[in-house]
Structure 1
Amino acid sequence: MMLSVIVAILVCLASYIYRSLKPPPPRVCGVPHGPPITSPRIKLSDGRYLAYRESGVDRANANHKIIVVHGFNNSKDMELPISKCELSLEKIHLHVRAYQTQIKAKTRVAFIRQKCLDLIEELGIYFLFFDRAGYGESDPHPTRTVKSEAYDIQELADKLNIGPKFYVIGLSVGAYSVYSCLKYIPHRLAGAVLVVPFVSYWWTKVPQDISSKAFKLLPEDVRWTFRVAHYVPWLLYWWLTHQWFSSSSIISGNSALLSDTDLVIIKKMLENPSPHTEKVRQQGDHECLHRDMIAGFATWEFDPTELENPFTEGVGSVHMWQGTEDRVVPREINEYISKKLPWIKYHEVQGYGHLLSEEEQKCEDIIKALLVE
């Protein structure tokens, strides 16, 4: 009798542990009871779909075609504030007053937006944004890796007939996709930018003292989350959904990770929130956020410090932008990489944190450095 009770308890305990560790199935877009499909998508060779969004000048007439890789907890619906860089507020008000008596309020807004697009049209820029696997309306990819990111980008470009070469810009975690492109498809690149780029504290060629120094700058809960993602990725879902750890700074966006400049930028963004925010994680946190960390902190097949310059003939360039006050990605490791790879043009922005690309002038500087300088 007692043995039966013990066995029953163990079975129940095992069942509870299994359910706690196993993530829920994704809410795939376009299937019954799943989120609706509202964006154009392309079908990849493995059957998955990638959702995308085009912006800027017409694809066929563009001088520069840029694929933008969004960061953690973001999507293709992110906006680069480059479209606001051409006109100062003073000039905008002058244009408004000049046309005040001729056009209604809604038309006035459209007019201002058109004037602000002059910079993009002047340079002939076409932007291609896409939801990385599991984000927004792109299908989940349970076996996603750093390597698979490059081939997703290449296939997206080919399906949309972007051409033999294109630029890539990776923001934050999205920068590991750019590293992947530099490694696996360098022949397809016209140029590349790593903005406040992701770092792994387990890259083997980065000196241990530098990795340890940068790692210790992170909040303790973030360090533990990254350790779990690297050493026991199958435990990450439980770790981030258990009540003891659900307030992890990396998921909740705790202000401890934000610089003073970041807080100012966040305040401005909250005044005009994106209507697409609710779609970012609609297929489940595990399919986007958790798998992002698992892929990024896994053991890579290459080390960034060993990458070769894809532009030895001088046509094209690679840039890295880093804020000195970045608390999400401490600058120590990126500084080291830029010294090991002098062909990467390193731009250190004083006084800025992780959200430097959200500032209008800095975003313009990033684009111009890639396309003009």
Structure 2
Amino acid sequence: MAYAVLPAGETKKVRTPDGRDLAYLEFGQPGSPLVIHNHGGPSSRLEGTLLASGAISHGLRLVSVDRPGNGRSSPQKDRTYKGWADDLMTVADALGYQQFGVSGWSEGGPWALAAAAYIDPSRLRHVSYIAGAAYGAFGDNSAAQYLDKVDALGGQLALHHRMAFHLMYELLELDAVHFRKSYIKTLIKMVNERDAKLLEDPTIAEAFADSSAECFAQGSTALVQDAELIYRRWPFDVTKIERSVHMWQGMEDHLVPYRINQEVSQRMPGAVWHPVEGEDHFMPIPASADVFAVAARELGV
């Protein structure tokens, strides 16, 4: 099982054509096939430390990037899915890659799907969508029927009560940044026994807590922007995505119930469904080698 937590190393930055900085970490050898990782929320580029061992074991270079306003990336007032797809291509260009793949976990999943929708398949050669938060794939808060009460309420607040939605994320920031042990204990209570054991590992717990806290380095505004876009009807149509998208899903996921993504897989022509029995939301940590084995194959390793 290749899920050792790797050291973060140096944070580097890419400048976008409109003058913003995108902060990233890189793992693996320069020149190896590239996968750009889309972190969840609340999370950051530091999420790459939890997944990179699986990528490296298959000869890949993993680059984990902060989305605008998260972590150390510059804020962007008018966030769009198409704009992020352009940012991903900017990162690939800066690193010298014509072809590359993407991965996206949890709230990073919709951004990986946006890449699949907006980037030419001749350039984007692989997409891994991991327990993605497909909350607006078929309309505003379209996954509400599958969500627990807290997340369904979050969708309602995002759509109809913006100030209350902001307050909810400010409280989350307080917990993730200043009460890290409490933050992890709350997660442990929400997941199954396998995930609980993962999060009880001090190394994994510390790495995940670091990644979550780093999300709020510039406050909670960017995470709120991300979440609002995720809950609202997406501007791209997943039923029109014909290129291959590998959808990985823990079938005991308590945070993103599998029925949400099972519906996406059934309605998206290019979906390749990878159900992982017995696993919860933190499945990609122990399964990182399996996830990136597929990426390596499609990227020609």
State the TM-score, normalizing by the size of structure 1. 0.67
- Kindly provide the CA deviation profile for residues 148-196 of structure 1, in whole angstroms up to 9, marking residues without a partner as x: 221111111112222x210101111111111111111133211111011
Q: Which of 143, 163, 166 is residue 100 of structure 2 equivalent to?
A: 166
Cα pair 1:49 1:138 within 8 Å, conserved: yes
Distance change (3 Å), C-alpha of 1:194 and 1:271? closer
- Judge conservation of contact 2:136–2:230 (CA < 8 Å) in 1: no
C-alpha distance in 2 between matches for 1:213 and 1:280: 28
The 5-angstrom pairing of residues 352-371 of structure 1 reads 352-359=279-286, 362-371=287-296
* Change over 3 Å in CA distance of 1:75–1:322 after alignment to 2: same
- List gaps (5 residues or longer) in structure 2: 1-9, 177-181
Q: Which runs of structure 2 are paired with 1:20-39 in the superposition (5 Å)?
A: 39=11
Q: Verify: 1:70 aligned to 2:6, yes or no.
A: no
Structure 1 residue 261: deviation in Å? 1.7
Residue type at the aligned position of 2:28: G
Any conservation in 2 of the 1:146–1:296 contact (CA below 8 Å)? Answer: no
Other structure's SS at 1:372 match: helix
Q: 1:40 aligns with which of 6, 12, 15?
A: 12
Contact 1:325 1:351 in 2 (8 A): yes
User: Does the residue aligned with 1:186 lie in a helix, a strand or coil?
Assistant: coil
Structure 1, unmatched stretches of 5+, are 1-37, 86-118, 311-316
In the alignment, the residues of structure 1 paired with residue 139 and residue 151 of structure 2 have an alpha-carbon distance, to the nearest angstrom, of 21
| TM-aligned CA distance change 1:257 to 1:199, over 3 Å | farther
Q: What SS does structure 2 have at the residue aligned with 1:51?
A: strand
Pick from 110, 117, 120: which aligns with 2:56? 120
- Cα distance in structure 1, aligned partners of 2:214 and 2:144: 36
8 A Cα contact 1:74 1:280, kept in partner:
yes
Aligned: 1:137 with 2:72: yes
Q: Which has the higher contact order (CA 8 A, sep 6+)?
A: 2
Residue 214 of structure 1, CA deviation: 0.7
Q: Which residue of 1 aligns with 2:196?
A: 263
CA distance in 1, matches of 2:214, 2:90: 24
Pair 1:82–1:293, CA change in 2 (3 A): closer
Tell me the distance in 2 between the aligned counterparts of 1:181 and 1:348.
22
* SS of equivalent residue, structure 1 residue 192: strand
Displacement, 1:365? 0.8
Q: Which residue of 2 aligns with 1:351?
A: 278
Q: Distance in 1 between matches of 2:138 and 2:11?
A: 37
Distance 2:283 2:232 in 1: 27
1:51 aligns with 2:20: no
**How far off its partner does 1:321 sit?**
0.5
Q: CA RMSD in A?
A: 3.0
Structure with bigger gyration radius: 1
Name the aligned partner's letter for residue 221 of structure 1: V
Aligned to 1:319: 246
**What corresponds to 2:160 in structure 1?**
231
Displacement after TM superposition at 1:267 (Å): 0.8
Secondary structure of the structure 2 residue equivalent to 1:357: coil
Shift of 1:227: 1.2
Identity %: 25
